[in-house]
Amino acid sequence: MTAYERLKARFARIATLHEAANILSWDSEVIMPPGGGDARADQTAVLASIAHAMLTEARVADDLAEAEATAHALVNPWQTSDLRLMRRRHTRAVALPADLVEARARADSVCEQIWRVARPRSDFASVAPMLEQVVQLAAESAQALAAALDLDAYDALMDGFQPGVTAADVEPIFARYNDFLKSALPAAEARQAQHPAPMPLAGPFPAAAQQELCRKLVQQIGLDARHARLDVSAHPFCGGNPTDIRITTRYDETDPAQAIYAVIHETGHAMYEAGLPGAWARQPVGAAAGMAVHESQSLIVEMQAGRSDAFLRWLGPVLHHTFGGDPTAFAPANLAGLWRRVERSLIRVDADEMTYPAHVALRFRLERALLAGDMTVADLPVAWYDGMRESLGVEPRNDGQGCLQDIHWYAGLIGYFPSYTLGAMAAAQLMTAARRDTPDLEPALAQGDFAPLMGWLRRMVHAKGSHLGLNDLLRCATGKPLDAGDFEAHLTARYLT
């Protein structure tokens, strides 16, 4: 075997360990009994330690050096990209001591378990001590990575979620959007006020009926049921691996939209995973191109297609057939009024697409301050209250509506949040190009058919794996790098005209 072939074999084994850890994570959020938390923390920590040891073994450095010295023999550009990404993963891994990797995995798992109990009780005090450990370990990791990567500490964490994007890239995007929102939000509210309020959907909406409808939606979007399953969790997510995808949602019998759009969103993630290049499975180049790209795939399905006039024309009759009641409430125009309504809300996952970036910008500011030591975990609730009041003019009544609402920090995912807004902007840019290139896209959505959109995404995004980074991927698909203007144009067309 050549050095590169040895590396491919090793990275495939490491990827398999990560797949096992992903399934354990899914299990802990869906079906694990509450008493299993301590053992699960040990299991995930040991798997993380084994994977880290395999990646940092001395032989890997030797093989990387040999493979890079003979890179001219790699005739396939995907191999060249794979080798580059192997080097990147190795550099990040060797920067982190093994005991730190294991300690962080254990702390993240324990904190997440405590959060699940604390969130519905709005009991921040019960999880705060463990969150302090999580933040401290994340800060130690960030400092170690920063030194190895020549990055700012926060940028080093961001780089783990979306390579090549830094806080300096994000800050002007958020600043520009904040300026847009200052005028666009009151204008959208004023426009809404000129029209009668939409007719509410009359419940109840039985969870069993919602579940059946959600399974139908998964199939409509195109996810293969032989390689996926749908379950319930406290926070909707997509996990597993490309041939064993796990998506979750949660059901509210007074509001079916929560489950419906969570499933549509997570199925967008799932379709990306399922569409990754199988020839490069378990190799760095065959993985997703980063979490901003991943979020673009969920949001193009949920926000761009799933809330479009065309799709609502199909969805309305399906909803009426499922739940019955007054058909007027399920008319596409009424659904658009309900589900494309701009509102200054408290909960990120329920926020409309115009105010959503304000939620993300707040988390971006707070997690940077936490990591830098400019604020403590104990400061978080008040800082959250102040931030929501300043950005959207609303204030949480309790910490369940505030700093406990998201799982991310409690699971150690510090540096993830900017990917949501970058993904929303990329989704708008991709949808503009997809409509340009695919004339039958809108008529198909009106029939509940996602095949034209998914076919375009398969070719232009999914099949590229990590061969291209965020901006190169967008250049290839749309003709330009990330451009916030497409997102603003989309919002203007949908909410202001």
Edge-to-edge strand ranges of the sheet holding 238-241: 228-232, 244-249, 238-241
Specify the pLDDT at position 120: 95
pLDDT at site 214: 98
**pLDDT for residue 75:** 86
β-strands 238-241, 228-232 pairing:
unpaired
Phi, psi dihedrals of residue 246, rounded to the nearest 5°: -115, 115
**Residues 6+ away with beta carbon under 8 Å from 446:** 310, 311, 313, 314
Q: Quote the pLDDT of residue 422.
A: 97
Whether 266 is catalytic = yes
**Could you state, in order of their start, the residue ranges of all structural domains in the chain?**
3-132, 133-497
- Catalytic annotation, pick one of 102, 266, 295, 488: 266
CB-neighbour burial class of residue 120 (10 A; exposed 0-12, middle 13-18, buried 19+):
exposed
Q: Which CATH class is domain 133-497?
A: mainly alpha
Angle between helices 256-275 and 332-339 (to 10 degrees): 90
| pLDDT tens figures, 25-39 | 999 999 999 999 999
The pLDDT assigned to 235 comes to 83
The CA-CA-CA angle for residues 348, 411, 390, to 5°, reads: 35
Between CA 188 and CA 67 the distance in angstroms is 56
Nearest Cα neighbor of 55 from 92, 2, 5, 110 is 92
pTM: 0.95
Lookup: tokens for 81: 């990209």
For residues 151 and 157, the answer to whether their CB atoms sit within 8 Å is no
Q: What are the average pLDDT values for consecutive 10-residue runs of the chain, which has 497 residues? A: 97 98 95 94 95 97 97 93 98 96 95 95 98 98 97 97 96 96 97 94 95 97 97 92 96 95 97 98 98 98 98 97 95 96 94 97 97 97 97 96 97 97 98 97 98 98 98 98 96 96
